[in-house]
Amino acid sequence: MGGCVSSCTRVAVINWIESDQTRERFHQGKTMIKKVLIGIVCGAAVLTVGILIGHFGITKGGSSGPSWVEDVAKDVDQSLIEKFLSEVDNIQIQENLRELTKVPHMATTAGDEQTVQFMLKRWQDAETGLDDAWREEYLVYLSFPDPKNPNKVTVVSPSDTVLHAIREKEKTYNPEEDDPAVVQPYAAYSPAGHPKGKLVYANQGKPSDYQVLNQTVDLRGTIAITRYGGAGRGAKAINAAPYGVIGVLVYTDPLDINDGLMSDINETYPHSWYLPPSGVERGSFNVQFGDMLTPYLAAKEDTYRIPAEDITGIPPIPIQPIGFEDAYILICALDGENAPQDWQGAFNCTYKYGGPGFKPTSAFNGSDVKLDIFNYEEVKNSSNVMGIIRGSVEPDRYVIYGNHRDSWVHGAIDPSSGTSVMLELTRVLGRMVKQGQWRPRRSIIFGSWGAEEFGLIGSAEYTEQYFAKLSERTVAYINVDIAVFANATLSASGMPSVQNIIFTAAKQVDAPGLVSTSVYDNWIKYSNRTSPAHGVIPRIGYLTGAGSDYAAFAHYLGITSMDISYTYDRSKTNARIYPAYHTAYDTFNYASKFIDPGFLSHQAIARTAGNVLIQLADSLVLPLNCSDYAETLEDYLKTAVSLYEEKLESRKISMEPLKRAVANFRSAASHLDNVIRTSDLANETPLKVRAINDQLMLLDRAFLDPLAFPDKYAYRHVIWASSSAGQPTFPGLADAFANADLSGQSSDWNKVHYHLSVASQAIEGAAQTLVDVI
């Protein structure tokens, strides 16, 4: 009995214990379930709140991530371009030009300072100005005529009797041309002097002209009369001096500027745009650009200056420009053999070499021509006016837009047409910035350059002062100097990579005065070419010389550059430039009456150049095309092979390295274009976009070789250096070949081989910058 009780009791205890544990587990389970349910409810609540926050954040803020993410991925806004185009006002441009041309504003004069103040006032305006504007000062070496001793040119008898005096001041047709600040026609940087000698006619003053003339006439002690064109201004005297010529006159032949018209009674200004008989083209007669006393250094107060006697590239003998009314009198009185047919001009007489001197039947028989030149040189303060709009995403990348401000007289077309356009661009863009409607991705720098007419001085000094910063950071340079030569069609020059962006802009702008026709469609009618890649397209020229302020940016810094203008129909005139160029007649009246009545071509240029500016400043990927560059290099190669390969092979000089380099550049360009085309760069990391943009931005820098052209000041770009050979191919190779072919000397053929290697390796090196990083 006792065992049974004990066993039952044990079972009962065990059952009690187990039931107690079960209850505990049950309670624990309930607690766990409660916690899980609470967690689920809380998680759902958090998720719901997150969705709501995300929804309203996207709706209200535009992005669920940091604010900079959208900015970094943003591309150019076409609606903003349309707004810009609609707001560019031709009447505003007209009024800008009226203000800019009120007084003559030759560099460093009181009129120039007046335009400096006008630019600053506009760019510092609270409603339409830029983020900042200031002036940059340089002390530069300039040349002026002495107002107390005007330059004179006379025909004098053996007894020094004056038989004829050249007009010292242009004829006045309108009051503004009689302004006391109108500078006498002169040749800047011509030395003072008083040469006297028999007159000869030397055509355009090219080396070949003097060579031909010297075969017939003893040039020692003579005065040469030359016409504009063919050779640079200063070169006409530089080329003459080795032959013993002691003075030079230069004039504009009516054949070259007026389509032969000569009478101001009913043919020339003030009846048309043609140059009147007394009109004289002023100009700078130096060969190099930049301040001549501070080569490769910014011309600041404490900068080292070379001695003036060490300056090169200026006339070694006195030279003076004159009007064609006086040139007619002199040339038609000359004795000697008839000049070649291609030396003949518009005068109704046969142009002769000169006996030297005048015909026995002339009233000037036995007489000399005398130059009394009183020019002097002076170091003076010249100002650039600078303005900026700061970039929002890449403020350390610069798009530079420039135009010089100084003129020889009133300068309505050169340069104030460009300045009036630039002021309208900054008014429209500045107002957008001030009103918070827009800020460019990249920074925009505006430059109103000083002393350009004396040799591109303001822009050259700027590039020398900021060489490192501009080299590292500048995307492109846009030059609009003479905005409107005439009102027929667009004209543009630049590196091949800018072709696409200019075309794009031109397609979005209406051609002035034409219904449903774009600037692009109008342009292609006047000047076109056939591209293997694009078919028939407008022809864009190349920046192979130093005609305006793009020179230092393109040739010295290797910055992708362009020059844009509106111009005339070259099938209807032989004018080498607009006829009032650098004369007292380049006034507001001339511009508004004969060049662009209504200022619609000015408006078209403002819209086109401004469109290019916005796209360069705002595009996610820089709109520069490497394959278009490759096409140009292939064209250059084709010309070089055709002209040079046979003779080079005969001298054991192979063109294969050049062929390989161009082929490799094409391959690399195609590769980069394909990367850009196939990548969704808006969703890539910003660094990938930046890397591609750097490849595009720095392409022209890759063609720089500071040792390639030791005899050409500031020319470092192997593809676009100036050339005297006149062939559309690699300039160093072309010039070296022409020289070697003429001399036949082995040392000159070695230079050909050298320049072939320079071009090959520059192109190969540039190609390597376009491939993937290794």
Beta bridge partners of 132: 388
Tokens of 610: 């401004």
Q: Do 226 and 250 contact (CB within 8 A), yes or no?
A: yes
Is the dihedral angle over the CA atoms 74, 690, 693, 774 positive or is it negative?
A: negative
Distance CA 616, CA 80 (A): 14
Question: With b meaning 16 or more CB within 10 Å and e meaning fewer, what string describes 580-602?
Answer: bbbbbbbbbbbbbebbbeebbbb
Q: Do 196 and 356 contact (CB within 8 A), yes or no?
A: no
Task: Give the sheet arrangement for strand 223-227, strand by strand.
Answer: 199-201, 223-227, 247-251, 319-321
Q: Do 733 and 752 contact (CB within 8 A), yes or no?
A: yes
Map residue 292 onto helix, strand or coil.
coil
Q: Do 296 and 464 contact (CB within 8 A), yes or no?
A: yes
Tokens of 90: 């031709």
Amino acid occupying residue 335? D
Distance CA 481, CA 422 (A): 10
Distance CA 769, CA 113 (A): 45
Residue with tokens 């469109």: 611
Distance CA 352, CA 370 (A): 20
**Strand 283-284 to 187-188 pairing:** parallel
Distance CA 3, CA 25 (A): 33
Residues 6+ apart with CB under 8 A from 167: 278, 322, 323, 325, 326
Active site residue 684: no
∠ at Cα 653 (649, 656), nearest 5°? Answer: 90
Is the dihedral angle over the CA atoms 133, 138, 143, 149 positive or is it negative?
A: positive
* Cα atoms in the Cβ-side hemisphere of radius 13 Å centred on 174: 14
Question: With b meaning 16 or more CB within 10 Å and e meaning fewer, what string describes 200-215?
Answer: bbbbbbbeebbebbbe
- Other beta carbons within 10 angstroms of residue 103's beta carbon come to 17
Distance CA 615, CA 623 (A): 7
Length of the chain measured in residues:
774
Q: Do 405 and 448 contact (CB within 8 A), yes or no?
A: yes
> What would the DSSP string read from start to end of 213-239?
HHTTS--TT-EEEEESBSB-HHHHHHT
> What would the DSSP string read from start to end of 3-29?
HHHHHHHHHHHHHHHHHHHHHHHHHHH
Distance CA 307, CA 295 (A): 12
Is the dihedral angle over the CA atoms 135, 139, 144, 147 positive or is it negative?
A: positive
Catalytic residue among 452, 453, 461, 464: 452
Beta bridge partners of 40: none
* Cα atoms in the Cβ-side hemisphere of radius 13 Å centred on 368: 16
Phi/psi of residue 722, each to 5°?
-65, 155
Distance CA 574, CA 302 (A): 48
Phi/psi of residue 7, each to 5°?
-65, -45
- Tell me 206's DSSP state: -
Tokens of 206: 């090219």
Distance CA 122, CA 422 (A): 11
Residue with tokens 């011509």: 190
The catalytic residue positions are 452
